[in-house]
A and B are shown apart, each in its own frame.
Chain A
Amino acid sequence: MDHITFLVAVVIVTALAFDFTNGFHDTANAMATSIATGALKPKTAVLISGALNIVGAFLSTEVAKTISGGIVDDTLVTPGMIFAGLVGAILWNLLTWLLGLPSSSSHALFGGLIGAVWVGAGSNGVHFDKVVEKILIPAVASPLVAGIAALLATYLAYKITARARKESVTKGFRLGQIASASLVSLAHGTNDAQKTMGVITLTLISVGALGHDAGPPVWVIASAGLAIGLGTYIGGWRIIRTMGKGLTDIQSPQGFAAEAASTTVILTSAHLGFALSTTQVCSGGILGAGLGRRLAEVRWGTAGRMVIAWLVTLPAAAAVGGLSATVVKHGGNLGTALIALIAAAVAGFIVIASRRNPVHADNVNETHEVTIRGGASTDVRTAA
């Protein structure tokens, strides 16, 4: 194991930490509407989702062959840049979690890498045409497609069941939601755990610890699967509240329509080779389901803040990634350790800030707002 230098070890730990934040940031995608409509109890929902994410990680054999899918020049990428990029992605994921905003973990990772490579290897290391093609266009198109599909499906579902017994309808769609939410979780596990496995494997190859065309060793698959599954199980309750309650008031037929639309868009795009953000697809589906039911209130203020977070995600993660890359480039191992310490301190501060107004399994459905201040007087419990 003499190939495993200090830097490589730090990269592996940081990649697993990112995988963990990826998991809890994205629990909401699959489970927010099921939790909001009461189809699944909150704790049951995150348990199913976490387990399916681990299963998904082991099922997929096709591990990401490139770190970034061509967005940056992979031949110029060093372990130091990967580390800096991951730090940018983790910090952005934590900040948006604190604010309860569903933003894309993939965009945070790409943003962090773009910033780190730009600083480390110059702007010619970043393929800007690929950024437009692989990030910008799917980011605009995929939530729209999911939204339109969910809107039509919701409208028809209410039309068809308008005169039927209400309890039967609610119960029927709740059962359907369990299946649709599970499919989203499984698809998420096969996609997102891949990215971390790809990052770790390519780092090991770049330092010669693995052969050139080697697949990920079992310990990499197992640790990446466990990190994302555990993150999912811990549950990003703040984001679950925003997606399940904040955007619109969801009933079980809407939840089913939104999840059916998300699953279909994710699977058709993957089949046709489009990269997209699960978070953005699911948010689009939920908004569409909100518009499809008459009298459902869509909170455009919350939706607007979410869209702003989508726009800022990539540049913000890139800025942190670039800054970290500067320190790592000039400071060597000492700089790397310094950035790791600062990142851990900022992460700790964000977690402490979240405790002032915690959101957890027991209060996730109580209101539709995630606040950082002010709510402490009404809820003195600490996060579960």
Chain B
Amino acid sequence: MSLDWNALGEVFAVSVGVTVGVVVVFALGVLGIAQVETAREQDGGTHALGFAQAGLCFLACAAVVAYGIYLIVPQFH
């Protein structure tokens, strides 16, 4: 029996990379929402940059989730 270090390394690299990527992007999206809500609370204004940031980040996360569903459901392959 030989240990397939390459496959193991691949699982490690992809898992850590994707997890950190998704969570960082999602955190940036949450940060954007937080800025929008802070602005609304303080002076009733809007925070266009925060809004755009949140929109883009959550869209990116939704794409990753869609790809995840694609991987799970065999009918899509």
On A, residues with C-beta under 8 Å from B are 56, 59-62, 129, 132-133, 137, 141, 145-146, 148-150, 152-154, 156-157, 160-161, 164-165, 167-169, 172-173, 176, 179, 183, 186-187, 190, 253, 256-257, 260-261, 263-265, 267-274
User: Does B56 sit within 8 A of A, measured CB to CB?
Assistant: no
Interface pair B68/A261, CB less than 8 Å apart:
no
CB-CB under 8 A from B74, the residues of chain A are: 59-62, 190
Interface pair B27/A253, CB less than 8 Å apart:
yes
Interface pair B34/A183, CB less than 8 Å apart:
no
Known: A263-B68, A269-B11, A272-B7. A168 touches B30 (CB 8 A): yes
Interface pair B30/A137, CB less than 8 Å apart:
no
Interface pair B15/A271, CB less than 8 Å apart:
no
Interface pair B72/A187, CB less than 8 Å apart:
yes
Q: Is the interface of A mostly helix, strand, loop or mixed?
A: helix
User: Which of A137, A141, A153, A190 is B20 in contact with, Cβ under 8 Å?
Assistant: A153
**How far is A186 from B65 in the complex, measured between Cα atoms in Å?**
12
Interface pair B33/A168, CB less than 8 Å apart:
yes
Interface pair A149/B75, CB less than 8 Å apart:
no
A162 to chain B, nearest CB (A): 10
What 18 additional pairs, Cβ within 8 angstroms, besides A168-B30, A261-B19? A60-B74, A148-B12, A152-B16, A156-B20, A156-B24, A156-B27, A165-B38, A172-B34, A173-B30, A183-B68, A260-B22, A264-B19, A265-B11, A267-B68, A267-B71, A268-B11, A272-B11, A273-B7
Interface pair B73/A59, CB less than 8 Å apart:
yes
Interface pair A149/B16, CB less than 8 Å apart:
yes
Could you list some 19 contacts between A and B, CB below 8 A? Answer: A59-B75, A137-B3, A137-B8, A153-B23, A157-B26, A160-B24, A161-B31, A165-B37, A169-B30, A172-B33, A176-B30, A183-B65, A183-B69, A183-B72, A260-B23, A265-B19, A267-B68, A272-B10, A274-B7
CB-CB under 8 A from B33, the residues of chain A are: 168, 172
Looking across the interface, which residue of chain A has its beta carbon closest to that of B54? A172
CB-CB under 8 A from B68, the residues of chain A are: 183, 263, 267
**How far is A256 from B23 in the complex, measured between Cα atoms in Å?**
8
**How far is A141 from B3 in the complex, measured between Cα atoms in Å?**
12
On B, residues with C-beta under 8 Å from A are 1, 3, 7-8, 10-12, 14-16, 18-20, 22-24, 26-31, 33-35, 37-38, 41, 61, 65, 68-69, 71-75
Known: A137-B3, A152-B20, A272-B7. A264 touches B15 (CB 8 A): yes
Interface pair B11/A257, CB less than 8 Å apart:
no
CB-CB under 8 A from B26, the residues of chain A are: 157, 172-173, 176, 256, 260
**How far is A164 from B14 in the complex, measured between Cα atoms in Å?**
29
B11 to chain A, nearest CB (A): 5
A121 to chain B, nearest CB (A): 22
Interface pair B23/A156, CB less than 8 Å apart:
yes
**How far is A273 from B7 in the complex, measured between Cα atoms in Å?**
9
B64 to chain A, nearest CB (A): 9
Interface pair B14/A268, CB less than 8 Å apart:
yes
A292 to chain B, nearest CB (A): 10
7 smallest beta-carbon distances between A and B, as pairs? A172-B30, A164-B34, A153-B23, A168-B34, A149-B19, A160-B27, A157-B27
CB-CB under 8 A from B73, the residues of chain A are: 59, 190
**How far is A146 from B38 in the complex, measured between Cα atoms in Å?**
34
Interface centre among B3, B16, B72, B74 (most CB of A within 10 A): B72
CB-CB under 8 A from A59, the residues of chain B are: 72-75
Interface pair A160/B15, CB less than 8 Å apart:
no
CB-CB under 8 A from A186, the residues of chain B are: 69, 72
Interface pair A61/B75, CB less than 8 Å apart:
yes
B1 to chain A, nearest CB (A): 5
Interface pair A148/B16, CB less than 8 Å apart:
yes
A89 to chain B, nearest CB (A): 25
**How far is A7 from B31 in the complex, measured between Cα atoms in Å?**
60
B41 to chain A, nearest CB (A): 8
CB-CB under 8 A from B8, the residues of chain A are: 137, 141
Looking across the interface, which residue of chain B has its beta carbon closest to that of A182? B65
CB-CB under 8 A from A148, the residues of chain B are: 12, 16
